[in-house]
Amino acid sequence: MYNLTIPISDEQIRELKIGDSVFLSGVIITGRDTVHKWMIETFVKETRQPEGDDLEVYEAIKPLLDGGAIYHCGPVVAGLDSGDYRFVAAGPTTSTREEPYQGDVMRHFNMKAVIGKGGMGSQTLAACHEVPGVYLHAIGGAASLIAQSVQRVIDVHKLDFGVPEAMWVIEVKDFPVVVTMDSHNSSIHAEVETKSMVELERLLAS
């Protein structure tokens, strides 16, 4: 069991191997499809000009993601009317939708951890090796349990994207996750897929 506090160093990342359990503490940011597309188009590939509060948000999140983590999560949030935000449910969403973006986002921000469920592909695994970073699998179906590890909501950016797609800046304590992709080119998800294909071929040939 590892206890990691954000920001995470390169040395700490390289110690982690697939299968390791981690309690993660510190400040993380939620982000799903809309956020990743916005990051890539506006700041990584610069295919669109910043507008509105884009530059202000970028300056706010950049130091948090340097050595930090992004969580693929569309939370259920109470207190939207009052601004006294509280996470009611904070379960992970499927990560594969971010595969076209994730590696470039990790490199651009020097981001050390991606949290979600279901794993990611070869592009993200390559970024985990290069940055270095890890993919941390959160427990699907445990949204209320995970929400208990959220100590407070510090801020929210891009609420105009919608509550699930906004960037929620949260402080977590002892957030339970498992390393399923590490910085040593190992992926539990790739291993499972390979073994599944071998078994499928065996069944089809019998």
pLDDT digits (tens, 9 = 90+) for 70-84: 999 999 999 999 999
Find the CATH number of the domain harbouring 103: 3.20.130.10
Q: How many domains, the chain?
A: 1
Enumerate residue ranges in the chain where pLDDT < 70.
Answer: 140-143, 190-206
pLDDT tens readout for residues 38-56: 999 999 999 999 999 999 9
Distance CA 120, CA 199 (A): 21
Q: What is the pTM of this model?
A: 0.91
* Residues 6 and 29: beta-carbon distance below 8 Å: no
Distance CA 5, CA 154 (A): 17
Q: Which domain holds residue 36?
A: 2-205
CB atoms within 10 A of CB 203: 8
| β 150-157/2-5 pair status | unpaired
Q: pLDDT value at position 145?
A: 73
Stretch (H or E) spanning 136? strand 134-137
Token output for 14: 């390289």
Picking from 60, 45, 48, the residue whose alpha carbon sits closest to that of residue 158 is: 60
What DSSP state is assigned to residue 166?
S
Q: pLDDT value at position 141?
A: 63
Which sequence positions are flagged as catalytic?
36
Token output for 172: 């977590």
* Residues 179 and 14: beta-carbon distance below 8 Å: no
